[in-house]
Amino acid sequence: MNEVFGIPMSSLATVLAVAFFFCLAISGAIWVRRPILARIGMRNIPRRRVQTALVIVGLMLSTLIFAAALTTGTTLNRSITSDVYRLSGDVDELVVPSGGESEFAGPSPGVTFPEDVTATIRQVADEEPLIDAVIPALWQPVPALNPRTGLSEPVVNLIGLDPTSIESIGSLRDVDGQPIDLAGLPQDGVVLGESTAQQLDAQVGDRLTLYVESATVDVNVAAIAPDWVLTGTLSTGGESGLAMPLARAQELLGRPGEVSFIAVSNRGDARGGLQHSDDVTARLNRALEGTPYRAIPVKQRSVEQAEQAGESFASFFLIFGLFSVAAGLLLIFLIFALLAAERKPEMGTLRALGMKRRHLVAVFLLEGLGYNLIAALVGAVLGVLVAFGIAGIMAQLIGEFLAIEPAWRPRDLVVAYTLGVVVTFLTVAVAAWRVSRLNIVSAVRDLPEPSLPRAGRRWLVFGVLGLLLGGLMLWGGKTADQLFLFAFGMSLLPLSLAAILRRFGVPPRPLYSLASALVLAYWLLPDSLHNRLFGRMEGDIEMFFLSGVMMVAASTVLIVWNADVLTLLVGAFGRSFRSWLPAVKIAVAYPLASRGRTGLTIAMFSLIIFSLVVMSTINANFMALFASDRAGAGWEIAASKPPTNPIPDFRQALADAGIDTGGITAVGRVLQMGPFQAQARQPGDSEWSNYPVSGIDRAFAQASDAPLQLRASGYDSDRAVWEAVSDDPTLAIVDANTLQSGGFGGGPVRFTIEGVERQGSTMQPVQIEIRSPLDNRVRQLTVIGVIDPQASMLFGIYVSERAFQELFPEPASITYYIDVAPGADAQALSRQIEAGLIPYGVQGTVIADEIAEQTSIARGFIRLIQGFMALGLVVGIAALGVVSFRAVVERRHQIGTLRAIGYRQSMVAASFLLESTIVTALGVLSGLVLGLLLSRLVLFSEDFNESFQFESLIIPWGQIAFFAGLALAVALLMAYVPARQASRVSIVEALRYE
Q: Share the mean pLDDT of the chain.
A: 82
In 718-846, alpha helices (H): 718-727, 801-807, 826-836
How far apart (Å, rounded) are the C-alpha atoms in residues 607 and 612?
9
Write the DSSP string, 949-992. --SS----HHHHHHHHHHHHHHHHHHHHHHHHHHHT--HHHHHT
Given pLDDT bands bounded at 50, 70 and 90, which one contains residue 39? confident
Please give the helix or strand (H or E) that residue 109 lies within, else none. none
User: What is the per-residue pLDDT for 17?
Assistant: 87
Q: What is the radius of gyration, based on Cα positions, of the chain?
A: 34
pLDDT, tens only, 66-89: 888 888 888 888 888 888 888 888
pLDDT, tens only, 896-955: 776 677 677 777 777 777 777 888 888 889 999 999 998 888 888 766 666 666 777 889
pLDDT, tens only, 829-853: 999 998 888 888 888 899 988 888 8
Query: Identity (one letter) of the amino acid at 979?
Result: A
CB 805 within 8 A of CB 695: yes
- Residue in 719, 695, 953 with CA at minimum distance from that of residue 813: 695
pLDDT, tens only, 145-192: 899 998 888 888 999 999 988 887 877 888 888 889 888 899 889 999
DSSP character at residue 95? E
How far apart (Å, rounded) are the C-alpha atoms in residues 931 and 611?
7
Q: Select, from the ranges 756-760, 816-820, 893-897, the one with the highest average predicted confidence (pLDDT).
A: 816-820
User: What is the per-residue pLDDT for 189?
Assistant: 93
How far apart (Å, rounded) are the C-alpha atoms in residues 529 and 524?
10
Inter-CA distances, 26 with 33, 363, 438, Å: 11, 12, 24
User: What is the per-residue pLDDT for 889?
Assistant: 65
pLDDT, tens only, 648-686: 889 999 998 889 888 899 999 999 988 778 889 999 888
Opening angle at CA 301, ends 142 and 164, nearest 5: 55
Q: At what angle do helices 298-342 and 595-626 cross, to 10 degrees?
A: 150
Which is more confidently placed, 265 or 569? 265
User: What is the per-residue pLDDT for 582?
Assistant: 63
Torsion angle defined by CA atoms of residues 718, 721, 723 and 726, in that order, rounded to the nearest 10 degrees? -130
User: What is the per-residue pLDDT for 237?
Assistant: 64
CA 404 centroid distance within chain:
17
Opening angle at CA 134, ends 133 and 139, nearest 5: 130
How far apart (Å, rounded) are the C-alpha atoms in residues 656 and 214?
13
**Residue 749, pLDDT above cutoff 60:** no
**Residue 994, pLDDT above cutoff 70:** no
CB-based burial of residue 850 (10 Å sphere; 0-12 exposed, 13-18 middle, 19+ buried)?
middle
How far apart (Å, rounded) are the C-alpha atoms in residues 293 and 259?
12
User: What is the per-residue pLDDT for 748?
Assistant: 46
Reduced to 3 states (helix: H, G, I; strand: E, B; else coil), residue 495 is helix
Given pLDDT bands bounded at 50, 70 and 90, which one contains residue 981? low
**Residue 568, pLDDT above cutoff 70:** no
Inter-CA distances, 282 with 96, 113, 274, 965, Å: 15, 21, 14, 61
- Residue in 416, 440, 421 with CA at minimum distance from that of residue 348: 440
**β-bridge partners, 250:** none
How far apart (Å, rounded) are the C-alpha atoms in residues 513 and 559?
8
Which residues are within 8 A (CB) of 60 and not within 5 positions of it... i.e. 6 or more apart?
375, 376, 378, 379, 382, 420
User: Mean pLDDT across the stretch 788-795?
Assistant: 87
How far apart (Å, rounded) are the C-alpha atoms in residues 973 and 786?
53
User: What is the per-residue pLDDT for 744?
Assistant: 41
Given pLDDT bands bounded at 50, 70 and 90, which one contains residue 890? low
Query: Model's pTM, two decimal places?
Result: 0.78
Reduced to 3 states (helix: H, G, I; strand: E, B; else coil), residue 546 is helix
Which is more confidently placed, 963 or 783? 783
User: What is the per-residue pLDDT for 247?
Assistant: 92
**Residue 967, pLDDT above cutoff 90:** no
Which is more confidently placed, 309 or 578? 309
E-strand stretches of 805-932: 813-820, 843-846
- Residue in 299, 296, 280, 282 with CA at minimum distance from that of residue 107: 296
CB-based burial of residue 901 (10 Å sphere; 0-12 exposed, 13-18 middle, 19+ buried)?
exposed
Specify whether the backbone of 110 is left (phi greater than 0), alpha (psi in -120 to 50) or beta: left
Which is more confidently placed, 233 or 493? 493
- Residue in 130, 483, 86 with CA at minimum distance from that of residue 273: 130
Beta strand 762-763 with 708-712: parallel, antiparallel or unpaired? parallel
Which is more confidently placed, 228 or 108? 228
Opening angle at CA 414, ends 412 and 416, nearest 5: 65
- Residue in 251, 198, 256 with CA at minimum distance from that of residue 226: 198
How far apart (Å, rounded) are the C-alpha atoms in residues 774 and 107?
10
User: What is the per-residue pLDDT for 743?
Assistant: 43
3-state helix, strand, coil in the chain (%, to 5): 55, 15, 25
- Residue in 343, 384, 342, 293 with CA at minimum distance from that of residue 73: 384
User: Mean pLDDT across the stretch 34-61?
Assistant: 74
**Residue 101, pLDDT above cutoff 60:** no
User: What is the per-residue pLDDT for 760?
Assistant: 73
Reduced to 3 states (helix: H, G, I; strand: E, B; else coil), residue 62 is helix
CB 679 within 8 A of CB 797: no
Given pLDDT bands bounded at 50, 70 and 90, which one contains residue 639? very high
How far apart (Å, rounded) are the C-alpha atoms in residues 229 and 159?
9
User: What is the per-residue pLDDT for 419?
Assistant: 84
Residue 283: φ, ψ to 5°: -65, -40
Residue 177: φ, ψ to 5°: 85, 5
How far apart (Å, rounded) are the C-alpha atoms in residues 510 and 301?
59
Reduced to 3 states (helix: H, G, I; strand: E, B; else coil), residue 156 is strand
User: What is the per-residue pLDDT for 880?
Assistant: 67
User: Mean pLDDT across the stretch 876-901?
Assistant: 68
User: What is the per-residue pLDDT for 98?
Assistant: 73
How far apart (Å, rounded) are the C-alpha atoms in residues 358 and 369?
16
CB 70 within 8 A of CB 428: no
CB 883 within 8 A of CB 604: no
Query: Identity (one letter) of the amino acid at 348?
Result: G
How far apart (Å, rounded) are the C-alpha atoms in residues 679 and 750?
10
Q: Select, from the ranges 6-20, 42-56, 383-397, the one with the highest average predicted confidence (pLDDT).
A: 383-397
What are the extents of the domains in the chain? Answer: 93-296, 573-632+849-994, 664-820
User: What is the per-residue pLDDT for 913?
Assistant: 77
How far apart (Å, rounded) are the C-alpha atoms in residues 337 and 328?
14
**β-bridge partners, 212:** 215
Percent of residues, the chain, with pLDDT higher than 70: 86
User: Mean pLDDT across the stretch 460-476?
Assistant: 89
**β-bridge partners, 8:** 3
User: What is the per-residue pLDDT for 699?
Assistant: 94
User: What is the per-residue pLDDT for 263?
Assistant: 92
Percent of residues, the chain, with pLDDT higher than 90: 24
User: What is the per-residue pLDDT for 746?
Assistant: 41
- Residue in 936, 234, 251, 179 with CA at minimum distance from that of residue 613: 936
